[in-house]
Structure 1
Amino acid sequence: METLPNYRIAYVRQVGPYGPAESAILLGIPQDNPQTTPPEKCRYDACIVIAAWAEIFPTLHKMGFHIDNKPILEKYTGNMVNNDFCEICVPIKRL
């Protein structure tokens, strides 16, 4: 288990079915040239096309947990992105 710090985030909502057709594609779009744009004016858009899910919910239930009423996060860090991995952060409570 891990407690995540507060983060400033941006997101885009997708409406439609979850499933195997989803793939994790991350995009980063730098909008400004840092050599000609002041740092406080530089813009960067971080994007995810759609993230993949595994059989996490039945596994958590078997382990004696249920999902807390908070958002689920997918966490992409360092080499995880290069290796097509992410952490699925699910808020849980003991049954």
Structure 2
Amino acid sequence: MKPIIEILPTQKIVYMRNVGPYGSVENFQMMQTFQQWIEGNHLGDRLKESGILGIPLDNPQQTPPEACRYDLALFISEREVANGLVQERLFTGGKYVVFEVPHTTEAVERFWLTIDQQIQEKQLRLRNSPIIERFKAVIGTEQICEFLVPIEG
């Protein structure tokens, strides 16, 4: 895993939320629904620019699986508004180390098994924010997932 540093802006997002176990079928179905909403609202360019963010809001080691919140989000401009199936809020940006991983069960599991070691080896100082998944490919194409690890600085 060869990481890069990226700074995400503080910016308005639209999002859909699922409450339940991370990695569930419902989260996959929500991704399909969110992508359809993006297409239906002519935000495909935004998807290409910044990708869809997957934001786990709870620590699964401290929160029961049925109570874990997971948002799928897309950056939008100040003049754009949420409608229909989505809500909007402000995403607090910051500095991230980005790890690119094939979007397979095995590769994602390997990432989670080795992330602590990666953090130690690279002497990263973590910020108290969730690790974000970013998806830039459309479902049905070769899948790459980026993990954005929040760091100080």
By relative contact order (CA 8 Å, sep 6+), the higher-ranking structure is 2
Match of 1:2 in 2: 6
Aligned length: 78
Which structure carries more helix by proportion? Answer: 2
8 Å CA contact 1:80–1:86 kept in 2: the answer is no
Distance in 2 (alpha carbons) for counterparts of 1:75 and 1:41:
20
Aligned letter for 1:8?
A: I
Give 1:59 shift: 0.5
Task: Say which SS state the counterpart of residue 65 (structure 1) adopts.
Answer: coil
Q: TM-score, normalised by structure 2?
A: 0.37
Alignment of 1:17-32 (within 5 A): 22=23, 25=28, 26-28=31-33, 30=36
Give ranges in structure 1 of 5+ residues lacking alignment: 35-39, 46-50
- Aligned-residue Cα RMSD (Å) equals 3.9
Distance 1:69 1:2, change over 3 A: same
* Inter-partner Cα distance in structure 2 for 1:41 and 1:71: 23
Judged with a 3 Å threshold, the aligned counterparts in structure 2 of structure 1 residues 88 and 80 are, in CA distance, closer, same or farther, namely: farther
Aligned-residue sequence identity (percent) comes to: 19
Hey, which bits of structure 1, 4+ residues long, moved more than 3 A?
22-26, 40-45, 78-81
Q: If you compute each CA radius of gyration, which structure gives the higher value, 1 or 2? A: 1
1:67 aligns with 2:142: no
Where is the strand percentage greater, Structure 1 or Structure 2? 2
- CA shift at 1:66, angstroms? 3.2
